[in-house]
Amino acid sequence: MVLEYTYKKKPMISIKNVQPLSPEALFDLMKNEFPVYVNEQLGSNLNVEFAHVSDIVNISFPEIIDGNAYTLIVNDETIEITDHTTEDSYNTELLEQHLIEFLTLKAG
């Protein structure tokens, strides 16, 4: 028996960086405000972790998703979101929706 898995690449989402927020400013904003925002929206108490290198901010939810969940690439015009979650992960569509709403609110 041979099992075959097809990887479906998810499209990158781009948000206009109207403010514009630098990678450092976005990292600080995400670290300080996003956990409260997403937990209020979900009525939960998720642990959210962040890592920042150069123009990249990684977001993870270690209690529910293994590894890096989202990557943000920040430049003067846009914030690009790459989704690294799998379809069988904890309600990732809702997490992504709240991430996009938060970034649109803060950068747009």
The rounded distance, in Å, linking the Cα atoms of 70 and 61 is: 9
Backbone CA torsion sign across 7, 101, 40, 30: positive
The rounded distance, in Å, linking the Cα atoms of 93 and 22 is: 26
Model confidence, pTM: 0.85
Q: Residue 88: its pLDDT value, please? A: 65
Which residue ranges in the chain fall short of pLDDT 70? Answer: 1-11, 87-90
Q: Residue 56: its pLDDT value, please? A: 95
Q: Residue 47: its pLDDT value, please? A: 95
Under a CB-based contact definition with an 8 Å cutoff, are residues 96 and 102 in contact? Answer: no
- Tokens representing 71 are 């990557």
